[in-house]
A and B are shown apart, each in its own frame.
Chain A
């Protein structure tokens, strides 16, 4: 999938830049070697020249599983402008759009002495520097010279960009959030072109028109695969008619993926994610890219998509639970979704009847356990465990979300009852 769009991209003469290239070469030496070998074969086969940047991306695919937690350090971003509110205003806009508190604004009133501004900015840089340096975005005049002066005073690397605008700040912040180095952040801002974040821009458009329910497709380079996946899904699964939109995402790695998903989730109801990278989040249905392209899976996939609409049903039951049962309905629905998605990810298809029945049944059971009242007993529940060991294990695993949320233990007999409902035994 990725290689196909790479070849397309190379043929059309478009370049792609891999900012992590040097890093990848160093850290994932072996993966890079393997990717390089593949490169030769592709070059021979398609008579094209594959740039090293592409090789880097392929290497990233190869090493995804081993991805280690990076150090949680970011480049600091400061916006400094003349006027009473311009800088803080831009900083605020950027922070809110990104859902992060990363950009710091400094307003320099026209009558403020440069010395005072320099002192204040020095303090700000000291405060926000986390060891990776600080990018200073300024409008004009003396502010443009402050970077070097701050460096002299503090030894902290500061790079300065002039003629600041909101898109530049956004791009800087976005890069910084991805834990890019100061150089990378700086380059990204300076070379800001309309091409940057094409997919990201699509998202902004989407945000206005999008349906509430979305499926997210994501790929590591974001230049094509995610969009292709989107087109494929919409066409094959008739998502438009179902009122489900697809958001293509460009991601750098698993952490970046999770962060972006969190942001989307603030506004949208994410039903499923389709990607080569599993975000490992129980609240989404995860569909791997390879699963999509195996034609034989399309039926199963359709089933999954149909079942997704039930997540809405689950949400709609919140009030009923609240009115009729003495348990925390917010927490209950929250854990029920995880329970439901776990079953779905394991290939269990639940119809609406059963889902509704389960929501009420399990809520009743939890209420009884919390009040230390007896649960209805099932005869010979041991036999069921013996006859359906795999099914039982799955249920056991899925109910842990309730057990953890409510700090209770759901007895085996009750798990058998749930299993009977789930599998219509």
Chain B
């Protein structure tokens, strides 16, 4: 199963978004694992990740993550509008597109 990981400062606001993405995935019958984590605990969650999405507020960490994880999986920032609107559908689309499996 594909695994999507979202990261933000505390992992709190992204977990809200994760709930909405999970709902969207279920409605569409897509089997996918979606999780949220904080910048600090990311190491524990990073295994088997297929795509890593950053909350826009920690956009500045993108380079740091790229350096750390290389090209093992795509690393992108979530669109601020989708993030602000907690648009689970769109962020799920974005993640699946990055994985290349839609």
Contact = CB atoms under 8 A, between A and B. Distances in A.
A352 B16 CA distance: 19
B38 A376 contact: yes
A324 B56 contact: no
A360 B58 contact: no
Interface string A400-425: 00000000000000000100110010
Contact of B12 (A316, A324, A361, A420): A361
Interface string B25-41: 00000000000001010
A128 interface: no
A200 B9 CA distance: 49
Contact of A376 (B12, B20, B55, B86): B12
A320 B57 contact: no
B99 to A, nearest CB: 24
Interface in B38-54: 38, 40
Contact of A379 (B40, B60, B86): B40
Size category, B interface:
20 to 34
Given A368-B12, A421-B9, A361 B57 contact: yes
Nearest to A363: B13
A324 B21 CA distance: 13
A361 B84 contact: no
Nearest to A418: B9
Nearest to B20: A324
A357 B86 contact: no
Given A353-B57, A360-B16, A313 B84 contact: yes
A365 interface: yes
A352 B80 contact: yes
Contact of A357 (B8, B20, B38, B40): B8
Contacts of B57: 353-354, 356-358, 361, 421
Contacts of B40: 378-379
Contact of B56 (A320, A353, A363, A364): A353
Size category, A interface:
20 to 34
Contacts of B11: 376
Contacts, number: 70
Contacts of A421: 9, 57-58
A317 interface: yes
Interface string A357-398: 111110111001000000110110000000000000000000
Given A320-B85, A376-B38, A353 B59 contact: yes
A317 B9 CA distance: 19
Interface in A156-207: none
A123 to B, nearest CB: 58
Interface string A313-325: 1001100100111
B9 A360 contact: no
Tell me which of A320, A356, A359, A420 has the highest count of chain B C-beta atoms within 10 A of its own C-beta.
Answer: A356
A27 B53 CA distance: 65
A323 B23 CA distance: 14
A307 to B, nearest CB: 15
B10 A376 contact: yes
Nearest to A358: B57
B94 interface: no
A295 to B, nearest CB: 31
A317 B84 contact: yes
A365 B12 contact: yes
A102 B80 CA distance: 48
Nearest to A368: B12
B86 A424 contact: no
B16 A324 contact: yes
B13 A361 contact: yes
A357 B12 contact: no
Given A353-B80, A357-B58, A378-B40, A420 B9 contact: yes
Given A320-B84, A320-B86, A324-B86, A357 B9 contact: yes
16 contacts: A320-B86, A323-B86, A324-B16, A325-B16, A352-B80, A353-B80, A356-B84, A357-B8, A357-B55, A357-B56, A357-B58, A365-B12, A375-B10, A376-B10, A379-B40, A421-B57
Interface of B: 8-13, 16, 20, 38, 40, 55-60, 80, 83-86
7 shortest A-B CB distances, which residue pairs? A357-B57, A353-B56, A360-B13, A356-B84, A364-B12, A376-B10, A361-B13
Given A354-B56, A364-B16, A376-B11, 20 more contacts: A320-B84, A320-B86, A323-B86, A324-B16, A353-B59, A356-B57, A357-B8, A357-B57, A357-B58, A358-B57, A360-B86, A361-B8, A361-B10, A364-B12, A368-B12, A375-B10, A376-B38, A378-B10, A421-B9, A421-B57
